Amino acid sequence: MLAGKRIILGVTGGIAAYKAAFLLRAYQKAGAEVRVTITPAATRFVGVDTFAALSRHPVAIDIFPDEPDTDAWTRHIEWGEWADLFVIAPCTANSLARIVHGHADNMLTATVLAARCPILVCPTMDGEMMQAPATQNNLKKLQEYGYHFLEADEGYLASGLQGKGRLPEFQAILDKSIAILQPQEGPLSHKKVVVTAGPTREHLDPVRFLSNPSSGKMGFAMAEAARKLGASVTLLHGPVSLASPSGIATESFVSAADLFEKVQKHSQADVIIMAAAVSDFSPEDYHQQKIKKEGASAQIGLQPTTDILEWLGKHRKSGQILIGFAMETEDLIKNAAKKRDAKKVDWIIANSINGKNSGFAVDTNTVQLLGEESQTSYSGSKKEVARQVLAHIFGN
C-alpha cells in the first residue's frame, strides 16, 4: 500500500528518537522511499550516520549546514515538493509548539512550512507534559490547521512513570499513513462529515458529575463507516477509552456545552451524525471544591442543556444531511418519529436499551432507521450496523 510513496521522516529530540530508525525500516519494507530530517536536539539521542546509512540519503538538520553543497539551504523547498507525506515521529512538546506557531529555525520546522503534502504528527512526551494546557491547545491548533495527528499510546515511560506519551506502534503509524495517502472513493468522496460520539459529563464539583454509560462504540463505528464511503471525517468524542480510528481527525469534549461549541464550529459540514449521548440537564451550580457529606443538601438543582440537534435543525445549510440518534426504553418507533419531526432532521437511528444485545457499551446493536417515508431495521455488530445504515442513506 505504500509502495513507491515518498516520505519525509521528521525526528525530534526525545528519547523515542531511537525508535525512528526502526520506523524508517518499516516504511522501507512497505515499499516507501524515505528521507530524514532531524532537529539538532535529536542528534543527542541517535547518530546522524545511522539515518543516513538506512535512508541512503543525506540527513537534513540545519538550514545553513557546514557542508560544501551550496544548495543545501534550499533543501526544505526541494523536499517539500518531493514528498507525498511528511511524518514527524516522535514529535516533542517543544517541536510541536514550534510547528504550531510557524517557527522555521531548523530544517525540520522549515520543511513543515514548505511542504505541499499531508503532514502526520505523532506527539510523544513524558510526565504530565501531554496534559499541560499549552500542549493541549497546540494539539487543538494542529488539527485546526489541517495536520493529521496520531494520539500517543499509554504505558511505561522513560521517566519510570505510567501514562500517556509513548510513540504509537509502528503498524499504527503505517496504517495511519496509508489512510492519509489512499483515501477511499465512494458516495461521500469530497464530502465533510462530522460525527459525535460518547457521553457528556456535567460536573457538580471536581470529583462528581452526571453522565451515562455510553462507550462511544456506535459513534466511532459511524465515523469509520463514513470514511470508508470516501468522506473526510471529523470525530468529536466525549470521555471514552477507545483508540482513535485511523485516518480520522478527532477532537475531544467533556460537557454538553463543550460539544455544542465544537458542533457550532463544524456546523457547515455536508453531513452531521449526532451519535453522542448528550445529557439533557446539568447542575445549576458548580462547586469549586469537593462537596463534603457533612451538612450538604441531598438535592441537586438542574437546568436544561442546549438541544444541539434541535439547533442544527434550525440552522442547517442548504443540502446538508442531519442524522440523529434516539435511545428509548419504551414506544421506540413512536418516540423516535416524534423526535425526527421535532428536530427537523433527515434521519433518526432509533435503538432500545432493553435488549441485552443493543444499547450502551456492548459491541452489537439493533436499530430502526427512520426517514421521511421509510423505516428499516438493521442488526449485527455496531460496525456492520453503521455500514448498513450509511449504505442505505448514501448508497454503495
Q: Which residues are catalytic?
A: 212
Q: Which of 40, 5, 13, 9 is nearest to 22 (CA)?
A: 9
Residue 57: how many CB atoms within 10 A of its CB?
14
The separation between CA 75 and the C-alpha centre of its own chain, rounded to angstroms, equals: 31
Task: Give the CA distances from residue 95 to residues 90, 125, 231, in Å, rounded to whole numbers and listed in that order.
Answer: 10, 11, 30
The separation between CA 246 and the C-alpha centre of its own chain, rounded to angstroms, equals: 8
Question: What stretches of 198-278 adopt beta strand conformation (E)?
Answer: 202-205, 208-210, 232-237, 249-252, 271-274
CB-based contacts of 331, cutoff 8 Å, min separation 6: none
Helix (H) or strand (E) holding 325: strand 321-328
CA-CA distance, 320 to 288, in Å (whole number)? 41
Tell me the residue type at 210. L
Cell reading at 289: 471544591
Question: What are the phi and psi torsion angles at 177 (to 5°)?
Answer: -60, -45
The residue count of the chain comes to 396
366 has which bridge partners?
379
End-to-end CA separation in angstroms for the chain: 23
Cell reading at 59: 540527513
Question: What are the phi and psi torsion angles at 242 (to 5°)?
Answer: -80, 145
Alpha helices in the chain (DSSP H): 17-29, 48-55, 75-82, 93-100, 107-114, 133-144, 170-181, 217-228, 256-265, 308-315, 332-343, 382-394
